[in-house]
Amino acid sequence: MRRVAIFGATGSIGGSTLDVIGRHPERFRATVLVAHRQVDALVALCERHRPELAIIADPALEPSLARGLAAAGVRCEVASGAAAISAAAAGDLCDTVVAAIVGAAGLDSTLAAARAGKRLLLANKESIVMAGPLLLAALREGGGELIPVDSEHNAIFQCLPGGRPDLAKSGVRRLILTASGGPFRGRKRAELADITPAQACAHPNWVMGRKISVDSATLMNKGLEVIEAHHLFGAPADVIEVLVHPQSLVHSMVDYADGSVLAQLGNPDMRTAIGHALAWPERVDTGVAPLDLAALAPLQFEPPDTDTFRCLALAFQALRAGGDAPAILNAANEVAVDAFLAGALGFLDIANLVESVLAELPAQGVVDVRTLVERDQTARAAARRILRHAC
């Protein structure tokens, strides 16, 4: 019986995780549920799954959560705030942590789970983008397991011998990450000047939150995944390639020196990767429909247009710069996407703002979490200042 803490329980990853858990009550139990501000949604999940601990990230909402749980007849411990989330990640109520808190806010709890030796199901790519060396060091210290839940990295994990081997010794030539291309695939810059948040969030294949949907539309999401692949699998930038695959059926591929290319395919449903990570090295039914290739053919592949979707090129630039450049990239992007969603920044200006911050803050070495957080805050301040002046 795996006892699972779900950080980001009311989001799309959380919902998919709970669906898989609900299909196998003899194997998995949701013992800790964490949400940001969605009190009613968290109460409903607790009523259904009966965790031992419910946490709301905003401390001001803890009384509302407690009242809601009491009214629903749910008896469990209630807590709030970032410290409570990190304590739960390291605590005895779980042996498995699904890290699905969006953005830099998920870093502390992800590190806490790694240090505590938990099985870490990583869906919060920003944590490893910001602090890849620190997270890997925490995993070595704690002796736990990291299994990626992003569909692309989970696909690579499945296509490599032993999950995360030495690539050179395993004969790996390339890691090929696939990208759907987002809702604006094929469009040129002149056609993207007046894009609205609603248009950017209308992903053709995946149901996702607003921030990650915008990142997919700009291809920054794929850029963050390139950096994540570098840290997860020890792959230099020149070994990582991105291919646009609009059907989202081939989730990623591994190219070997002997000419073999192994691919992981499946319908675009996050329950596949989540179920694999929960049950690994075994397999369980996730409720995902079998793949009917004959009905879905043909499959298309094309190179990404990095002149139009510049965020992907900026991510490669940050990866090659090394040090804390990926953290600077991530911080500037979070500010830019928030501004875009609020109507304060144009779609094409997301890349412009990120590029300006990267130019203003040259890469420094990653020393420790405190220094990294300070640099993250410096980058956010720079992005907001540039944004104010531009407006």
Instruction: For residue 25, say if its preceding peptide bond is cis, omega within 30 degrees of 0.
Output: no
Q: Which residue has the tokens 């990190």?
A: 86
pLDDT of 206 over the 90 cut = no
**Percent of the chain at pLDDT above 90?**
84
Angle at 159 between CA 290 and CA 238, to 5 degrees: 130
Distance CA 61, CA 54 (A): 12
Greatest mean pLDDT among 18-32, 93-107, 137-151, 367-381: 18-32
At 212 the pLDDT is 86
**Residue 102's pLDDT band (boundaries 50, 70, 90)?**
confident
Distance CA 12, CA 218 (A): 20
**Residue 207's pLDDT band (boundaries 50, 70, 90)?**
low
* pLDDT mean over 215-229: 95
* pLDDT mean over 200-211: 79
Q: Which residues contact 235 (CB under 8 A, 6 or more apart)?
A: 167, 172, 175, 229
* pLDDT mean over 88-100: 96
pLDDT in tens, 46-84: 999 999 999 999 999 999 999 999 999 999 999 999 999
pLDDT in tens, 141-198: 999 899 999 999 999 999 999 878 899 999 999 999 999 998 999 999 999 999 999 9
pLDDT in tens, 327-360: 999 999 999 999 999 999 999 999 999 999 999 9
Scored b (16 or more CB within 10 A) or e, 274-295 reads bbbbbbbeeeeebebeeeeeee
pLDDT in tens, 243-279: 999 999 999 999 999 999 999 999 999 999 999 999 9
Q: Are the C-beta atoms of residues 298 and 317 closer than 8 Å to each other?
A: no
**What average pLDDT does the chain have?**
94
Q: Are the C-beta atoms of residues 94 and 32 closer than 8 Å to each other?
A: yes
* pLDDT mean over 2-10: 96
